[in-house]
A = this chain, B = another copy of it.
């Protein structure tokens, strides 16, 4: 952990289920120091010796002189869940970035050096859905792309697709694709079929098939296994992992493409292998979406919230 050479203007925290990231920043959002920890919400909820404030202070103590007072700490993510530090009730869609910042809650803290604000998640009442953390990435994205109108994809264990236009998040959809893929490839009969190899063409074929037969998901899964059993001796069989991955990601994308209105764009936030697969799958259907780094976007969203909170407090 680097010690900042100056007292931070504020501190940004992305507190997830299984880890957290913390940044010390100046008022122009220059990063003075950063650190991370595996003590996400689940670890704290599962250990009565841990508290959210205690974990946070242990990470930022060296950044704060003893005479510092009320340094703003802006937190997004699971710290605001019911099982978190202090519940920040969900903000309903449609929502603007300012609605989210205004929904922040301030837990009581013992350490006078900090003033903590926890941002709310988003919820959707009809077509029930929730997010905590991704909304801050959406805010960061919207800040950098004010004219964007379309769907923003955040791939993950539970992928999120949010509809954004006119500076507003109008709705969103969570897909259990990542978790379903993990369960099928590790715990189902398909685990025998996904062991070896990868083939981009087989992935693309499965993505294409998922759009042609969007209702056939539960059947398409079984063909991942059956195609090896029916192959004639010596015939090449497409790698099951690529087919399964294309079937699952393809089903998710086929559903979203069915909701895409003329003129709407698609943006992709994420990094690494998973984001590349989404990029490839979108490319199969002729949609170009270059993955944008999620960490920078989270920090941009927290910065946006910090400025809104600061402006509001200065008005009081």
**Residues in chain A within 8 A of chain B (CB atoms):** 90, 123-125, 127-130, 158, 173-177, 179-180, 183-184, 187-189, 213-219, 221-223, 226-227, 229-230, 248, 251-252, 254-255, 258
Contacts and interface: CB of A to CB of B under 8 A. Distances in A.
Contacts of A229: 90, 123, 128, 130
Given A187-B183, A217-B251, A226 B90 contact: no
Nearest to A180: B218
A127 B77 CA distance: 43
A252 B222 CA distance: 12
20 contacts: A123-B226, A127-B223, A129-B223, A129-B230, A130-B230, A174-B219, A175-B219, A175-B222, A176-B188, A176-B218, A176-B219, A176-B222, A180-B180, A180-B184, A183-B187, A187-B187, A215-B251, A216-B255, A217-B217, A218-B251
Contacts of A177: 218
Contacts of A252: 218-219
Nearest to A228: B128
Contact of A218 (B129, B213, B216, B248): B248
Nearest to A176: B221
Nearest to A125: B230
Nearest to A223: B128
Nearest to A159: B218
Contacts of A158: 189, 222
A179 B173 contact: no
A175 B216 CA distance: 9
Contacts of A214: 214-215
A217 B215 CA distance: 8
Nearest to A189: B179
A176 B128 CA distance: 25
Contacts of A219: 173-176, 252, 255
